[in-house]
Amino acid sequence: MLSLSSDQRRVLRARAHALQPVASISFGGLSESVVKEIDSRLLCHQLIKIRIHHGDRQLREQFLGTLCERLQAAPVQHIGRLLVIWRPLPEGQEKAAKPRVRQVEPRRGKRRFQGEAAY
């Protein structure tokens, strides 16, 4: 499990504030398919939120510890039924910065018809 300083954790919590949960752990528990899904999401996003549907706080803390141990991630925040975890990209694999290409269409004004209405 990775450890973060309080400053790093504060920055990551601020970045995670606007995120939506990308994975969910239901009453079935922490299955292998859920762990694989969370692993793939961490590979893509590095910082993710996970929603847990269990009401038991100790069980949620156990899920957080287990996930961070198995996926070599760092726990960022556990608030309510949401977990936030972070994992840096693997060595030698840097995130390719894809420039966003925005299709810009010319602005169209209101069409004004000359003469009779075309109804």
In a domain, 63, yes or no: yes
Is residue 104, in this structure, part of any structural domain at all? no
CATH of the domain at 23: 3.30.110.60
What total of structural domains would you count in the chain? 1
pTM, to two decimals: 0.74
Helices 32-45 and 57-71: crossing angle in degrees, nearest 10, is 60
H/E stretch holding 30 reads: none
Mapping DSSP to helix (H, G, I), strand (E, B) and coil, where does residue 86 land?
strand
The per-residue pLDDT string of the chain (119 residues; one tens digit each, 9 = 90 and over) reads 788 999 999 999 999 999 999 999 998 889 999 999 999 999 999 999 999 998 899 999 999 999 999 999 999 999 999 999 999 988 777 655 555 556 666 666 666 656 665 55
Distance separating alpha carbons of residues 113 and 119, to the nearest angstrom: 11
